[in-house]
Amino acid sequence: MKMNNLIADFTKHISESLEIVSKTPKFSAVEVSNICIVGLGGSGIGGTLVSGIVSDTCELPITVSKGYDLPNFVNENTLVILSSYSGNTEETLNALVQAEERSTKICVISSGGSLLQIAKEKNYDYVAIPGGLPPRAAFGYSSVQVFAVLSNYNFISTSYISDLEKTIAFLNTEELEIQALSKLVANKLQGKLPVIYSEDSLEGVAVRFRQQINENAKMLCWHHVIPEMNHNELVGWTTQNDDLKVVVLRSKGENPRNTKRIEINKEIIEKYTNEILEIWAKGASKVEQAYYLVHFGDWVSYYLAELQEVDSIEVDVITHLKSSLAKM
């Protein structure tokens, strides 16, 4: 199993996930007042990204929970969507117990493990996705199913599924250009501390980019969003530091005021670092643009791993952490 092959299969994963969508029975209607998506790491990023994309069309508030405990407001009027690729994520299983105690509506997205077994035994709504991959490499499965679950319950339009179908052909057309651009960016980021900025609407993409650099390239980096960073982090840019490399993720759909903010930010930041990289999303829809940037970031992280001469698949430190926790 090689990370470059898994990244190259991204559109194949989306296509296979949409095939699962077409075969998933319609869920019974649920009357809820809010939605809580639970998931961590590669299993949780789908909820983060999707909730941001649908925030301006979904009539119910969506919260993303990334810990052991559910927010206090979660109750019988909440739909809790639990996403764990392995099905054995201890934080997510703990959240499931709390969801059951509070009599919430429950839906599971998983490839197996205890989570999927419990869903089947207790007749919870669930979607089973293919297993055997590193969770972060299964983004094409898990993120699509978050869209699908929300659509299945009629909380969002089926147009998002149509957008995903169009995304496959779009990304296939752009594939060679994405790889070429990501290789150039990786070369510029080698030996640097990447600083990723985006408009708040693209925060899910920025988080994914950071996570992939962390896991695949074994590098630290950070991200922040505009306009929030204009109220705090921008003040920190006061010292020349060429070890930092700023990457700004852009979209033609960004708020005009944020467009102006980004231009002013660049004028300030370029005084203290030698280059600011701007990556513009391509695509006709918010889905296409987000998945374009995700795919770009995935390739950057792989090429960085090659330049760093590290194994992009290996996550031994996380395995050690989980083994140590299992002894408690």
**Is 322 an annotated catalytic residue?**
yes
For the chain, give the secondary structure using H, E and C: CCHHHHHHCHHHHHHHHHHHHHHCCCCCCCCCCEEEEECCHHHHHHHHHHHHHHCCCCCCCEEEECCCCCCCCCCCCEEEEEEECCCCCHHHHHHHHHHHHCCCEEEEEECCHHHHHHHHHCCCEEEECCCCCCHHHHHHHHHHHHHHHHHHCCCCCCHHHHHHHHHHHHHHHHHHHHHHHHHHHHHHHCCCEEEEEEEHHHHHHHHHHHHHHHHHHCCCCEEEEECHHHHCHHHHCCCCCCCEEEEEEECCCCCHHHHHHHHHHHHHHCCCCCCEEEEECCCCCHHHHHHHHHHHHHHHHHHHHHHHCCCCCCCHHHHHHHHHHHCC
Tell me the backbone φ, ψ of residue 224, rounded to 5 degrees: -155, 165
| Residue of 23, 26, 59, 231 marked catalytic | 231
User: What angle is formed at CA 35 by the lines to CA 253 and CA 255, rounded to 5 degrees?
Assistant: 15
| Residue of 2, 122, 260, 322 marked catalytic | 322
**Is 215 an annotated catalytic residue?**
yes
| Residue of 203, 215, 254, 288 marked catalytic | 215
d(CA 57, CA 45): 20
Q: Which residues are the active-site residues? A: 215, 231, 322
